């Protein structure tokens, strides 16, 4: 290669760089198994981006994503799942299970001998009978290729009575409950039916999953079943509130391979059939798989990483993007509640989890989709009265803290997403902020709102008074943002004032672990509470001492009834994304705040698995020490994220955890609802973002190494750039951010602090 002149070399290297971005595919770096074990709970089966259908093995009725690692048995393969959720499971509808043998046994549970998973593809071989099941999927249709051993007969169970999370107790909290199911053998190659289930984590009303299954071999014989009894040659089992299903035999002649397409619909069985006809009119498994890969490649390749990026980092990054874009799910054309031309999305699970990173990541790389999602939220508001905070199975619920649709709207507004009626959106936000949601305050809107408006905080005694107060004050800030942008000064003034409400629970003189000032419980009369109620005796007044490190509650007090939802005051007292300069001040100034952050991270008070702490590692930015943020982030990622099955440190929560990682690997981190990204040291040397407007933005590091991990200087489009944050508009206008790295912290980014409120 020495013979070429320098210029030619440069030319070739540029060419290589361009072509390397343009031609190599990236989807193969997605590993759906990352985060599948441990606490990640990600969905491991095939799914289109935002795909309605998510087929996967179910290993017993308990796990949220259906799948569990070997040697756990497989009960069947159902067609609808969610990804990364905690709490009680949802879905797991329309289960099928291949087997060999007589049609006389309801339970066909099997062990796996092997299992292979890649993007869009799942494969397993059962230990007992050597049956191989391969799965891929379309948007609304799942596709199974089942290969039976040569000498064995081909049987298949279809079980629309199955669902995840069954419990014996009627209305058990967070448990799905059976309402009804139905099955009909339509012809020797078709079966139709449905599953109707209520409850689950979000305590939703009944939803119905309709199916139409088609086979490429004729049914030779069958039995149907209902309520545990078999019925020979009875073609249909109607819905009488009992579980129904069928065992089908395809005999042992003909080919060993049975292909099964299962169309799904939330409207009707015929619509499910039509979904097959429209989407997968053929029998080619690979065609379906390739179409799915292409859809993902189109999305994933909008961000390209430099060629020197390690395979491990590629896997972590692209799997992060992948996990971010499998929920919410696109159910446009499948809404059983109303019909119009608006997009319809379900499985906001939940916005409390996703507003911080998943939602902004979708805005960055798939903003048209984001507009659709927000319009779906507004459509839900128009028809049902409130935007969703959580939503699943066509019903709102639950709220954990704030009414965080406000953050999503404000984030879209400050990032100039077009095609949204922001006047309507403001109306929807103000509804959250002014109208109490009625009896079930875990459904939507803001619980404890009346007190919040009257007192400026949610008093102790209302469930989750602490995080509700700080979330509402942030949500009020979001309303102020949009009101201001729309020129509504009165509204702005009102809500920017309410945005300070978190300060009403700031107990300034309270010390703990070397820090001073915490969000602490206060009663209706304005008294700080050192001891809070323990138990429900009407004679005694049992209490326990509440401190900023307490997360647990007495065993008989519900998980949802504590002062802070799933966290401590140490965590939540940092979770004020709109008012950090004030928080710094209240914490005793920059030095005290730095110490406070150090104590937090050095004493294991930080919980990487908990969304309210997502922004906390970046808070050093606001005291002019962005390099400390980068140090923390680097350590957190090193200690908690990897490409293993336990590679996610918490519930992925519809991609919340994964998108946190993806942002930080690029060196950007959003503060949702605000128009900028914080800049940190990237993990990847060059990141190329192909924007939807046709432009591109590149983040290039120079001299970066394990040692050279501090930003020395920065150039934005060739000009010195000394802010440790960058506006969304600057990225969206295209260009290049060059970060020159050094082995020690510099003065870069230390003088101009990120925006205050």
Enumerate binding residues for its own copies (CB under 8 A).
Answer: 170-171, 177-180, 182, 184, 194, 196, 198, 205-206, 208, 236-241, 267-268, 270-271, 273-274, 333, 336-340, 382-383, 385-386, 431, 435-440, 445, 450
Angle CA(309)–CA(311)–CA(317) in degrees, nearest 5? 75
Question: Nearest 10 degrees: CA dihedral of 35, 38, 43, 44?
Answer: 70
Measured from the CB atom, the residue of 153 and 274 that comes closer to its own copies is 274
Residues 6+ apart with CB under 8 A from 399: 352, 389, 390, 437, 441, 442, 443, 444, 445, 446, 447
Measured from the CB atom, the residue of 396 and 498 that comes closer to its own copies is 396
Measured from the CB atom, the residue of 241 and 514 that comes closer to its own copies is 241
Contact of 648 with 37, CB cutoff 8 Å:
no
Half-sphere exposure of 382 (CA within 13 A, CB side): 16
3 state DSSP class of 709? coil
Measured from the CB atom, the residue of 186 and 716 that comes closer to its own copies is 186
CB 437, min distance to its own copies, A: 5
Determine the Cα–Cα distance for residues 65 and 70; give it in Å rounded to an integer. Answer: 15
Contact of 438 with 481, CB cutoff 8 Å:
no
Measured from the CB atom, the residue of 426 and 739 that comes closer to its own copies is 426
CB 401, min distance to its own copies, A: 18
Measured from the CB atom, the residue of 442 and 740 that comes closer to its own copies is 442
Measured from the CB atom, the residue of 198 and 698 that comes closer to its own copies is 198
Dihedral sign computed on CA atoms, order 285, 288, 294, 295: negative
Measured from the CB atom, the residue of 241 and 526 that comes closer to its own copies is 241
Measured from the CB atom, the residue of 236 and 609 that comes closer to its own copies is 236
Contact of 47 with 138, CB cutoff 8 Å:
no
For tokens 């120079």, the residue is 702
Q: Quick one: tokens of 17? A: 């760089």
CB 462, min distance to its own copies, A: 13
Dihedral sign computed on CA atoms, order 512, 513, 514, 519: negative
Determine the Cα–Cα distance for residues 256 and 569; give it in Å rounded to an integer. Answer: 60
Residues 6+ apart with CB under 8 A from 299: 49, 321, 325, 365, 366
Determine the Cα–Cα distance for residues 332 and 339; give it in Å rounded to an integer. Answer: 10
The distance in angstroms from the start CA to the end CA of the chain is: 56
3-state helix/strand/coil string of 106-140:
CCCCECEEEEEEECCEEEEEECCCCCEEEEEECCC
Count of positions (residues) in the chain: 757
Determine the Cα–Cα distance for residues 226 and 142; give it in Å rounded to an integer. Answer: 25
Measured from the CB atom, the residue of 176 and 350 that comes closer to its own copies is 176
Measured from the CB atom, the residue of 185 and 737 that comes closer to its own copies is 185
Measured from the CB atom, the residue of 241 and 254 that comes closer to its own copies is 241
CB 339, min distance to its own copies, A: 4
Determine the Cα–Cα distance for residues 91 and 165; give it in Å rounded to an integer. Answer: 9
Measured from the CB atom, the residue of 264 and 605 that comes closer to its own copies is 264
Question: Nearest 10 degrees: CA dihedral of 502, 504, 506, 510?
Answer: -160
Half-sphere exposure of 268 (CA within 13 A, CB side): 3
Find the helix or strand (DSSP H, E) in which 78 lies: strand 76-78
Measured from the CB atom, the residue of 239 and 523 that comes closer to its own copies is 239
Omega before 71 within 30 of 0, i.e. cis: yes
Determine the Cα–Cα distance for residues 425 and 687; give it in Å rounded to an integer. Answer: 34
Q: Are strands 112-118 and 121-126 parallel, antiparallel or unpaired?
A: antiparallel
């Amino acid at each position: 290669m020495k013979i070429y002149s320098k210029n030619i070399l440069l030319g070739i290297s540029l060419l290589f760089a361009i072509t390397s971005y343009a031609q190599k595919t990236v989807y193969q770096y997605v590993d759906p198994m990352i985060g599948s074990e441990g606490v990640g709970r990600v969905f491991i089966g095939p799914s289109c981006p935002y795909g309605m259908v998510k087929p996967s093995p179910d290993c017993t009725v308990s796990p949220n994503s259906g799948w569990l690692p070997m040697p756990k048995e497989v009960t069947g393969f159902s067609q609808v799942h969610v990804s990364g959720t905690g709490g009680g499971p949802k879905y797991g509808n329309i289960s099928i299970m291949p087997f060999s043998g007589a049609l006389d046994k309801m339970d066909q549970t099997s062990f796996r001998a092997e299992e292979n998973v890649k993007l869009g593809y799942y494969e397993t071989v059962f230990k007992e009978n050597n049956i191989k099941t391969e799965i891929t999927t379309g948007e609304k249709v799942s596709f199974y290729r089942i290969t039976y051993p040569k000498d064995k007969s081909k049987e298949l169970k279809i079980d629309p009575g199955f669902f995840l999370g069954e419990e014996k107790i009627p209305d058990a909290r967070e448990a799905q409950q059976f309402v009804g199911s139905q099955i009909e053998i339509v012809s020797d190659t078709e079966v139709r039916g449905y599953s109707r289930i209520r409850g689950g984590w979000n305590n939703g009303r009944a939803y119905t999953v309709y199916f139409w299954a088609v086979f490429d071999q004729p049914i030779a014989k069958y039995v149907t079943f209902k309520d545990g009894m078999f019925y020979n040659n009875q073609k249909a089992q109607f819905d009488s509130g009992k579980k129904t299903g069928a065992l089908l035999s395809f005999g042992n002649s003909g080919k060993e391979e049975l292909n099964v397409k299962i169309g799904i619909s939330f409207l009707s069985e015929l619509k499910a059939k039509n979904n097959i006809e429209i989407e997968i009119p053929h029998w080619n498994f690979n065609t379906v798989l390739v179409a799915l890969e292409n859809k993902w490649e189109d999305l994933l390749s909008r961000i390209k990483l430099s060629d020197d990026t390690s395979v491990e980092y590629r896997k972590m990054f692209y799997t992060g993007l992948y996990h971010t874009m499998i929920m919410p799910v696109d159910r446009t054309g499948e809404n059983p509640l109303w019909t119009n031309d608006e997009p319809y999305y379900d499985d906001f699970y939940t916005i409390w989890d996703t507003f911080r990173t998943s939602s902004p990541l979708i805005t960055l790389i798939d903003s048209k989709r984001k507009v659709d999602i927000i319009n779906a939220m507004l459509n839900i508001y128009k028809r049902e009265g409130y935007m969703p905070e959580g939503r699943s199975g066509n019903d709102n619920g639950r709220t954990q803290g704030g009414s965080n649709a406000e953050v999503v709207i404000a984030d879209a507004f400050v990032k100039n997403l077009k095609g949204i009626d922001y006047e309507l959106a403001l109306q929807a936000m103000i509804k959250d902020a002014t109208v109490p949601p009625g009896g079930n305050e875990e459904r939507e809107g803001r619980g404890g709102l009346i007190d919040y408006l009257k007192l400026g905080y949610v008093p102790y005694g209302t469930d989750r008074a602490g995080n509700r107060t700080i979330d509402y004050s942030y949500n009020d800030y979001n309303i102020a943002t949009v009101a201001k942008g729309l020129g509504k000064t009165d509204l702005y003034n009102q809500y920017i004032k309410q945005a300070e409400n978190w300060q009403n629970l700031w107990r300034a003189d309270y010390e703990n672990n070397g820090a001073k000032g915490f969000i602490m419980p206060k009663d209706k009369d304005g008294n700080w509470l050192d001891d809070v109620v323990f138990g429900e005796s009407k004679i005694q007044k049992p209490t326990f001492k509440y401190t900023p490190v307490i997360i647990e509650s007495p065993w008989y007090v519900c998980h949802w009834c504590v002062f802070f939802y799933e966290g401590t005051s140490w965590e939540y007292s940092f979770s004020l994304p709109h008012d950090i300069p004030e928080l710094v001040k209240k914490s005793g100034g920059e030095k005290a705040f730095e110490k406070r952050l150090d104590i937090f991270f050095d004493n294991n008070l930080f919980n990487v698995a908990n969304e309210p702490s997502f922004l906390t590692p970046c808070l050093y930015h606001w005291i002019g020490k962005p390099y400390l943020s980068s140090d923390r982030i680097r350590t957190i990622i090193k200690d908690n994220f990897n490409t293993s099955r336990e590679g996610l440190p918490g519930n992925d929560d519809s991609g919340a955890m994964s998108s946190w990682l993806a942002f930080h690997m690029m060196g950007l981190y959003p503060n949702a609802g605000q128009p900028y990204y914080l800049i940190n040291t990237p993990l990847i040397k060059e990141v190329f973002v192909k924007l939807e407007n046709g432009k591109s933005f590149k983040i290039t590091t120079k001299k970066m190494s394990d040692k050279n991990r501090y930003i020395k200087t920065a150039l934005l489009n060739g000009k010195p750039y000394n802010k440790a944050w960058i506006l969304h508009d600057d990225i969206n206008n295209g260009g290049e951010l060059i970060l020159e790295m050094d082995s020690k912290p510099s003065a870069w980014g230390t003088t101009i602090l990120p925006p205050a409120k």
